[in-house]
Structure formats: structure tokens, C-alpha cells
Amino acid sequence: MLRHLLILVSFFIVVSGYGQVVITTDYENLNHSIADQLIIYEDSTHLAEIEDLLNGYYNYQGRQLDHAVENLNFTTSSWHCNFILDNSKGPDLFLYLEVARPITNEVNLYEYHNSGEAVSTSRTGDAIPFNSKAYYHQKSIIPIHIRKGEVKNYWLELKSDGEIISLPFILWDKREFEIRNQKEQLYLGVFYGIFVFVFLIYLFFFIILKDRSFLFYIIYVASSALLQFSLDGFVHEFIFRSGGYASQHFVIFIASSSVLFVVLYAKIFLKLKERSKRLNKVFTISLALVAFVVLLSLIPGFAYESAYYLVNAFSLIAVVLILVAILILKKQKHRIDPFFALGFVFLIVSAVIFILGNFSIINLPGLTQNALKYGTLIEILFLSISMANKYRELQREKESAQALVLEQLEEKNEMMANLNVKLESQVKERTKEIEGQKEELKEKNDDILASIQYAERIQKAVLPSMKKFKALLPQSFVLFKPRDIVSGDFFWIEEISSSTSNKKLIVYAAGDCTGHGVPGALVHIVGQNFLRLGKYTEGVNSPAEALDFLNQGIHETFSSKYKDETIRDGMDIALCAIDFEDNILTFSGAKNPVWIVRDNEILEFKGDKKPIGSYDDIDDSPFTNQEIKLQKEDVIYTFSDGYPDQFGGPKGKKFMYGKFKRLLIEIHLKDMDEQHEILDKRYAEWRGEHEQIDDVIVIGVRI
């Protein structure tokens, strides 16, 4: 007994100048807060070290705490407390010291020898990594092992970055702590389970309805749950385990975000934009202010410290503002869901208690620290009922709208039925008229078709026969494919004697008249007639002169006697004269060329760049001749643009002249009849299901 007395006396000497607290480990001091037994010292300079304090180098004014759980207000100071645990009369004890809130930055417990030398240091708080805590728990818990008969000296240090320091001081018996902890974990599991359930249910409703009020509601529910999750220390334990900036700033960030989204939710739910422009403007301004606090919460230093005061103030103002808006709207005879209003009544009561506790106006930490938790839970339950009512209201509106649409549809169907009866009568009358017109149209169509078919017989009679063509040019083929019944493309052949040399010449042409069908066929007949006349006309002794004669004849035939009317019809043509004695080809062309395939290459001879016919913008210069020395096995090709311009193939594009050249080179050594078959087959394959767009003429002659 004397030994323990000497220990106490020696320690009192070391810490002279400071209030000394001796806490016995009697049952009366265990398992409940005994902070009112402590003397606390504030160090606003953060300069004092524990050794300095123990040796009395700083003369800080201590104060006796008045309550079992004490609030030390919003603070950035360090707080110190010196106490002795006296277990001189008790058995070996394993205790858990619960001190400060889970979100307190740092809690350091220093154990000292009687001489003042440190024996050990235990740390906890959300500023340090979770794995560095003295005890792995979401709360600020420090294990203490004190043997029978021991007296231990401790110095407690608390640090905050602007948050309220709440000071419970509980020495838990290990068994009692474990029992209480199990019950509390069960309670918290149910508490957070309700939040998760509400979040998932109304997330489902939002996905179905796409209503923004449900979106802001579930975000508010999530942020409220995360706020409590943070206040209970679980964010530090499970999310930001490294502590420091993320763990500390998250509390104020999620608190201000929760206020932001509850105001957004209330603004949308109360339909302020439609119901009250003034209230809507006030809510918009408050949202901007709260968003500013959210930004401040992320900036270290003074901005972050100020955010603690502002978020508490704005939380209270926001909830009061929502209640005022509810009262104003009810006064204006707008329907407000009673559960919505009741939820915010509970929230404001709990928020007032919580915030007044934060400002130490109400000094009942046991009540004030849990008021917001309970109030938020009750509010969420009432708001969930309110949202369920809104869902039913939306469903009723949908059903009413569907009923209205159905009614309108029935009226429309009845109207349509009456209209159909009337229309049927009109249709019968019109059908009779159409049937008559159809018969008349059929007769006219038959007459037109008969005329066109007769025109086809005339054109066939005018065209030279294939027998004549083969007789004059045995090694040749003519691929002739009209687009319609009659064709604008044509071929012509004659044997003539040269007036200058009395030689026999084979003259043939491949022509492409303007248009196709009946107009093209008419131009062809006129053109072929002038070609035939040119044979007997003095002064026509060459292909070029024949084209000049043809051009003049077409021009005179289609020139109108009316002043302002000109028929702009004509043709493109390649006219060839072959002298088989000297193997000379004399060629003249109106826009169309002649190709000669020799030694797997194409020799291209272009015609004059003007057509046959009456065109005011074309020069009247005479056509020109081109004399070409032929070689044995040369193959001469003349053609219209119908073959290379045909659309087809897998991409529906034109056949093109390049591909046409390659095809002629590929087949030019084959028999002329076989060439005809290949050209005809390739054309059909290329065209496929596409429409034939123009008449086709291809003439091939082998020397």
C-alpha cells in the first residue's frame, strides 16, 4: 500500500501544474462514459509536445468537463488530457477505451513511467491508415491491458481539422464490449439494409418510369446512407482505408451533397417550376449555395474548415425552406402528399437537434449525435411511402390517359365505320367509272402497242438483214439489243464502188440516235434513208462526206418552220469503209470512235467531237476522214454507249469503258459468232435484275 502511495506522489511531482485525474477500475467507472471526471487542455498552437506538457513548459488553462459526454465544438486545436488508471485493488483487466467520434482525425494515447518517460503509444482516428489503428474497429477504440495491482499513467491527445470533437470516455470491459458490439452491428446492418432496399426498389421504379423525381430521390437516399456510413466510421474501414485527405474530406463532401440532392428532389417533387416561379427561384439560389459548399469541402485549409459551419447551417436552412414551400403550396390549394410533409417534419426535428448539438447549444451528445440517424431513417421511410403514392398516382394518370385514348379511339372507330360506309358507296361509283376508263385505256393501249409493233416491223424492214451483213462481211457479228420494242441504235451496211478508183468498198455504220423507243426509231429511219441516198449522190465519195450529207439532211428534216421551236434530234455514229484490196480502213465518226484490237492491244481512233443533227451550239465544220492501214487478224469494233453504260454487278455500278476494253481484248482471237455469244452472256450476267437503261449495238469485223 505504501508503494502505491509513493508512485502516486512521485507522478504528481512530475506533472505539477496540471490537473491530475485518478480513475479507479471499479465497476462504477466501467461500461459508461465518465468524461465528466476529466480535465481537458486546449493547445491552439499545435506546438506543445507531450514531454513539454508533462514537464510544465506550457502553462495551458485546463477546465473540468461538466458532462459524461462532452462536445468541444468545431475546432482545429489539439486537446490534451492527463489521467491515471488505478487497478491496485482489482484483478487483471483487459479494457477497451472508447474515446472521441469515429471521424476524429487523430487520437493518441501515451503511456508513461512514473519518471515521465514514454512506454508506449497507441493511435486511432481517420487521418491514419486503418491498418495502423490500435484496434481494427470503425470507432476510436484503444485496448488497455492493466494487471492486478498496477497503476498506469496516460496522456490523451485529440486532433481535429475543423470537425466537432465529441468526447465520450468509456472504459469497456472486454466481455461487455463484445456483447454491445454484436448488438450494435446487428442494428447497423438492419439500418443500412433498409437504405439499400429503398434504393434498389426506387431505382427499379426510375428505370420503368424515367421520372426525374425518382432519380434525385435514390441519389438522396444513397448520399444519406453514405453520410451515416461515414459518421459511423465505415467509410474509413471499407472505402478509404489509407485515411488522410479522402477519408477526412468525404464526410463534409457527402453531407453537402446530401443537402444538394434533397433540395433538388423536393424542387422536382413539389413541381415548383410549374406551381411557383418565386419559390423555384429561391430553391435555385439555395442549390447554387449548397453546390458552392460541395466545392469548398474539397479544398484543404480554411475553405474546408469553413465548410463544416456552412453545411450545418445550410442543412437546417434547406429543410426549413422545404417545409415553408410545402406550407405555401398547401395554402395555394395545391395537393401535397401528407407523407412527404411528415417525412420532412421528422427530418427537420432531428436536423435541428443534431445541428444544435454540433453548435453545443444542446449539450446532450447521446441524443444529438444519433438524432440525425434516427430522423433520416424515419424520413426515408415516410418519403418512400410518398414515392409509392406518387407511383400509384402516375399509374392512375396513365390508366386515365389510356381510358381517354380508348374512348377517343372508340369514337374514332365509330366515325371511321360511318366514313367507311360512305366511302364504300363512293368507291363503288368510282370503281364503275374506273372500269370504264380501264377498258377505254386498254383499247388505247392496244392501239398504241399495235402501232409500236408495226413500227418494229417497219424498222426491221429498214435495217439490213443479218444474212446481208454476213454475206458482205463473213468474219463479223452484230450484237443488237433494243431496250424497247423499237430501237434508237441501228446498223447499216452497203457495198459501193469508189468514183475515184473504181474499187469495191464495204461501208457499214453503227449509230446511236437521240433517245430510244419510238422517237429513236423515227430518227434512225430518217438517218438510214439519208445514208442510202448518199450512195447515189454526186459529191459523196468518202465516209466524212457521207456524214456531212447525213448531217445536212437531218438538219433540214428537223428544222421547224416555227420561229421559236427547234427539234434537237440527231445521232452519234461511226462510219467505216473497208478496202480489202489494199487493207485500208477509212473512218469518220460523229462523236463515236472505232477500236482496232491488234496484238492484244487496242488502237483507239476517236471521231469528231460533234454529233449528227441540228444543234445551234455545235460548229458547222465538215467531218474528217481517218485512213488506217489494216493488218491480217485485226478486229475492228464499233459500238454505241449502251454496253459500257449499263448498270449492274454486285454494287449496281456501270460496266465502264475500261472493263469493256479488257473484255474485247480477252475475246478478240475467238470465232466471231463465239464473240457474239460471250458479249451477250456477259451483258446479261452484269445486268442481272437491273433494268436495261439504253439500246445496245456492238459490231465486230475481223480482217
Contact 320, 265 (CB under 8 A): no
Contact 580, 524 (CB under 8 A): no
Query: Three-state SS across 239-276?
Result: CCCCCHHHHHHHHHHHHHHHHHHHHHHHHHHCCHHHHC
- Closest by CA position to 393, among listed 253, 617, 211, 539: 211
| Helices (runs of H) and strands (runs of E) counted in the chain | 16, 25
Task: Report the distance separating Cα 203 and Cα 211, nearest Å.
Answer: 11
Query: What pLDDT, on a 0 to 100 scale, did the predictor assign at position 11?
Result: 39
| Adjacent-strand bridge partners of 40 | 63, 81
* Fold match, 2-180 / 463-702: no
pTM over the 0.75 mark: no
Domain 2-180: assigned CATH number: 2.60.40.2380
Contact 164, 102 (CB under 8 A): no
| Adjacent-strand bridge partners of 21 | 83
Task: Report the distance separating Cα 583 and Cα 628, nearest Å.
Answer: 9
Query: What pLDDT, on a 0 to 100 scale, did the predictor assign at position 2?
Result: 36
Query: What pLDDT, on a 0 to 100 scale, did the predictor assign at position 8?
Result: 39
Q: Which residues contact 248 (CB under 8 A, 6 or more apart)?
A: 103, 105, 126, 127, 161
Q: What is the pLDDT of residues 281-301, one digit of tens each?
A: 999 999 999 999 999 889 988
Low-confidence residues in the chain, pLDDT < 70: 1-20, 54, 56-59, 114-118, 355, 357-366, 368-369, 451, 454-455, 498-501, 516-517, 560-568, 614-619
Ramachandran area for residue 258 (φ above 0: left; ψ -120 to 50: alpha; else beta): alpha
Query: What pLDDT, on a 0 to 100 scale, did the predictor assign at position 413?
Result: 80
Residue 602 C-alpha cell reads as 487496242
Cα-trace Rg, the chain: 53
Dihedral (CA of 380, 382, 383, 388) sign: positive
Q: What b/e string do you get for 87-109 counting C-beta neighbours within 10 Å, with b at 16 or more? A: bbebeebebbbbbbbbbbbbbbb
Which residue's entry shows cell 400509384?
392
Q: Which residues contact 679 (CB under 8 A, 6 or more apart)?
A: 479, 643, 663, 667, 698
Which residue's entry shows cell 419559390?
279
Q: What b/e string do you get for 353-367 counting C-beta neighbours within 10 Å, with b at 16 or more? A: bbbbbbeeebeebee
Q: Where exactly are the structural domains of the chain?
A: 2-180, 186-400, 463-702
User: Helix, strand or coil for residue 141?
Assistant: strand
> Cα–Cα distances in Å, from 341 out to 215, 276, 390, 543, 594?
19, 18, 14, 104, 95
- Closest by CA position to 667, among listed 588, 586, 595, 572: 595
Domain 463-702: assigned CATH number: 3.60.40.10
Q: What b/e string do you get for 277-308 counting C-beta neighbours within 10 Å, with b at 16 or more? A: eebbebbeebbebbeebbebbeeeeeebbbbb
Long-range pairs of 329-336 with CB within 8 A, sequence gap ≥ 24: 329/270, 329/275, 329/276, 329/279, 332/275, 332/276, 334/275, 336/270
Q: Which residues contact 482 (CB under 8 A, 6 or more apart)?
A: 489, 516, 695
CA dihedral 71, 73, 77, 81 (to 10 degrees): -20
Query: What pLDDT, on a 0 to 100 scale, did the predictor assign at position 417?
Result: 78
| Adjacent-strand bridge partners of 121 | 110
Q: What is the pLDDT of residues 463-522, one digit of tens each?
A: 888 999 999 999 999 999 998 888 888 999 999 886 666 788 999 999 998 876 677 777
